[in-house]
Amino acid sequence: MARIAGVDIPNNKRIATSLTYIYGIGTYRAQEICTKANIDPETKTRDLTEEQTRGIIGILDKEYQVEGTLRTEVAMNIQRLMDIGCYRGLRHRRKLPCRGQNTKNNARTRKGPKGRPGGKK
């Protein structure tokens, strides 16, 4: 398995598909990276040369935030919203949906399991 951005990507898949195993890279971005690195997206990961792998790593380091840095930035953005006390921050703090979804009937994933009135018997 090739290791790019701290993630083991599968050898038996196309490079464009393998790159999507990295947090922050979807199918469009994977195609974009392959184009910038002059690699055919249909190429299997195991067929990449060391130079091509270094090219992909260089592009990721220079142009994109992936894995740990992206996760910390997202967490810091949510924390900033909670600190300033805006509506979205309050919704995050209360663990409720913050994009306008109804919560009267659904939103069980975000709210967690129902609190049973009698408790467990």
Whether the per-residue pLDDT at 62 is higher than 80: the answer is yes
Whether the per-residue pLDDT at 20 is higher than 90: the answer is yes
pLDDT score for 121: 65
Question: What is the dihedral sign for C-alpha 91, 97, 103, 105?
Answer: negative
Whether the per-residue pLDDT at 21 is higher than 80: the answer is yes
Whether the per-residue pLDDT at 9 is higher than 70: the answer is yes
Mean pLDDT of the chain: 91
Q: Enumerate domains of the chain plus CATH numbers.
A: 2-64 (1.10.8.50), 69-111 (4.10.910.10)
Mean pLDDT, range 98-106, rounded to an integer: 88
